[in-house]
Amino acid sequence: MALMTGAEYIESLRKLKTQVYMFGMKVDNWVDHPIIRPSINCVAITYDLAHDPQYEDLMTATSNLTGKKVNRFAHLHQSTDDLRKKVKMQRLLGQKTASCFQRCVGMDAFNSVFSTTYECDKAHGTNYHENFKKYLTYVQENDLTVDGAMTDPKGDRGKSPSQQTDPDIFLHIVEKRADGIVVRGAKAHQTGSINSHEHLIMPTIAMGEEDKKYAVAFACPSDVEGLFMVYGRQSCDTRKLEKDADVDLGNKQFGGQEALVVFDDVFIPNDRVFLCEEHDFAGMLVERFAGYHRQSYGGCKVGVGDVVIGAAALAADYNGAAKASHVKDKLIEMTHLNETLYCCGIACSAEGYPTEAGNYQIDLLLANVCKQNVTRFPYEIVRLAEDIAGGLMVTMPSQADFRSDVQIPTKSGMTLGQWTNKFFVGVNGVSTENRMRILRFLENICLGASAVGYRTESMHGAGSPQAQRIMIARQGNIAAKKELAKVIAGIKE
């Protein structure tokens, strides 16, 4: 099959029988649901840009498995150039959507599972690597979107999976059959899960012998029997249900998506199993995936940051404050912070190296430094954007007020719409509506639905700040740095 277009991708979702629940009810036509559809539009862009000659080099690659052209989101990195192009592709898509385009997790999972299964087979004589190569070939040839699912609900954070009161709090194997396994549990906070054709499941933490039944990796269709999803709420999400509210939405076309994915005794055939109780490789898989995904944030968050900076500059223009020196300085600081994030994403890519399996791994230390910066800098970028925008960003009336023809009983005889447009106008030559649109867009990206894919996700996506600090401590090689100091200081022991 050739590369799908965005329209073909959307139509392919209609063929799935994915079970989706929202607001306490089953959603039958989730593809066209106004709350869900913007996130589907985001994924569709990843398909359409692969057909644009201007972006073909970033959006596509040649598969090392088939020799055919594939979407880069289904590609195994073959060089540091591939790693850099990944980050540049993610920045491009952030610029195009100002939201989360949801396919990064699957791409990062592919590369992590590919190298880990190779080394697991080498140690245990298993056949997981061939299973995965067969699976990824299927994904590439059908141009599928795959949700990489790692995070379990976790329950009591002070207890390991096997110590939890409810064993299902971490996804685990409940039965091993001759033809496959049966799994039970859930994956939480899953980005793009509902919009994906398939799910690629991984363990969430390093594990010991006592937790081996939780050390499982596999793939399954999103509509497999026993699997259902509960859509996660976002701030201002019900605005999408309001009539004629596109100004209030801020970002009408695009949005992110997260869900709880529940597995109620789901059967997985043997050829789709990539880890089954080999607990000694759970930590490797988690560490490699986390590294790739922390690299990703040096691209996607930077692309969205580009749009935030542009929106803040526009707000300054429309407010008549663009010439103020402090506004110029704030825009410079936002740009400095954003490009620093990009530097880290490119740096950990440039310092990448081949794994035993042959695909390329990023520099783990620099990837974790990248994500540690992402837990801080977008918050400052958003703070400065809100500063420039002004309080009207969160206090303005609704679109319905600005367009209302209701007569106000005053001497002037003006309508509600005329009054609101009169008092919220900015500089000459800019309509009140355009001023409101850019302020609503900033509200959406700083506080509303898109904040999930920018601000809040910058903190918790790909692991909390402490997770990166643990990895920085491991990778920082303080012992070697001590030796450097000893040599120069003339210390002999």
Q: Choose the catalytic residue: 80, 117, 145, 191.
A: 191
Structure tokens at 61: 């690659």
335 is catalytic: no
Q: Which of 77, 97, 293, 342 is catalytic?
A: 293
Q: Give catalytic status of residue 172 as yes or no.
A: no
Query: Annotated catalytic residue: which of 9, 18, 97, 104?
Result: 104
Instruction: List 198's β-bridge partners, or say none.
Output: 146, 221
Is 340 assigned a catalytic role?
no
Concerning whether 348 is annotated as a catalytic residue, the answer is no
Which DSSP helix (H) or strand (E) runs through 24?
A: none
Is-catalytic flag, 165?
Answer: no
Q: 258, 278, 287, 386: which one is catalytic?
A: 258
CB-neighbour burial class of residue 429 (10 A; exposed 0-12, middle 13-18, buried 19+): exposed
**200 backbone dihedrals φ, ψ, rounded to 5°:** -110, 110
Residue 360 among the catalytic residues: no
- Report residue 422 as tokens: 């009169």
Q: Which of 135, 214, 231, 297 is catalytic?
A: 297
Residue 183: in which H helix or E strand, if any? strand 180-191
Of the residues 277, 278, 386, 457, only one is catalytic, namely 457
User: Could you confirm whether 191 is annotated as catalytic?
Assistant: yes
Q: How many beta carbons lie within 10 A of that of residue 267, not counting itself? A: 16
Helix ranges, 320-454 (H): 325-350, 364-374, 377-389, 392-395, 399-402, 416-423, 432-446
Sheet containing strand 172-176, edge to edge, reads: 25-27, 20-22, 227-231, 258-269, 180-191, 172-176
Residue of 42, 100, 276, 348 marked active site: 100
Residue reference for tokens 């440039």: 350
Q: Is 477 left (phi over 0), alpha (psi -120 to 50) or beta?
A: left
Strand, coil or helix: 187: strand
> Active-site residue numbers?
100, 104, 191, 258, 293, 297, 300, 457
